[in-house]
Structure 1
Amino acid sequence: MNSTNRILNRIFVFLVGLLVLTGGATLALVALIPLVRDSWTNTTRVGIDRATRLLQATPFPEFLVPVSGSWLWFIALAAGALLIAVLVTFSLRQGHGRTSRLVTLNGKTSSGAVVIEAKVAEHAIEEALTIRPELVASHVSTYRVKNQSALKVAITCRRGISPREANQIVNEVLFSFDNLLGLQLPALVQISGGFRARTTKATRIR
């Protein structure tokens, strides 16, 4: 639940993982198999020779730029700068999407619009879930999804509590808050157990 495009995110992670996997496998083969090592050495030597000839064949026109060297280096620098800019933009977008405003009620009162902050919902729902003995911990956050506020409720269940029971508990709390607010908010419920649920002292449930 953030502003990062999920498809682009997965494509980027896949490409990076594929690149790392391919590079690691190639290095392992070169280090372990003599035949592959010899072939790699010959291929590298041929590639360096071709690159050298290509750079020598593409010099800067002296009447345009009074420097020596190939104009391909500037293309490579421009491509590298563009790649860095894309990666920086991608990194800065990670984790965004949180919002501090839950909802704006326009025309609901004679005084004008009413703005409800996200902290109101987060504190109210967390407090209602804290008193439930079936849960070890809870955390509520608010995100902006498709121009609408949505709640993310993450809970940690005690040992022996089924996901169905935990989901019902959260639904009851969310339903009560929706009735209090007078509208229905979309919500994502994340249910987990883990080490904390196994080591926390059990509480008898009536």
Structure 2
Amino acid sequence: MKKWKKLLIFVTCGLFFNFSFSMDLLETEIDWLTKEKFEAVKKDYQESIKIKLEELNKQDMDEKLKEYTFECYKIDYAVELLQNYESSTQGINLAYFYGYKQYDKLLNKYYSYKNKLDKKTQTALLEEQRAWLKLRDAYENYIDQHRYFVYTASGGGTMYSNLASASKFDFVKKRVGEIYKYFFSENGVDW
């Protein structure tokens, strides 16, 4: 009986993750690719996600960590694929922007766990998040100004916009990891 329960859980999780990753790449969110390129990206993406899910299911790890790892992998792999299929400067920037938006959604998902905290800790987290949002906005402004400065000082070049996009993407991705750790890591809040 125990084997059947494990099998049922595995199949249920597999169906859930199957559904979740098939819904990830929406053509309306990735409208800069041709239909053919989008279909190729989607196919490669689904194949890789399936393999990653199988790998994660074989590992003995906490379910929340598995979910977090899987969600981050999906975003990072989508960005990589999108850049491979549209490797122009604009394509790379659009891929980073897509990933940025996906990490922002993930940030909101993990931030919503704040409701499980006591009121005093919720308030402290809210204040920290407000400060982080100001920091993010200031950092993005700095990145844009720095990109312009470097572009002007060096006499041009399109790669600077890619570096700026990557920096913004990484900044939000890092915050997702921080928020995840607050709620789910054994060490909790970290300096």
Shorter-chain-normalised TM-score: which range? under 0.3
1 or 2, which has the higher helix percentage? 2
Computing the radius of gyration over CA atoms, which structure comes out larger, 1 or 2?
Answer: 1
1 or 2, which has the higher strand percentage? 1
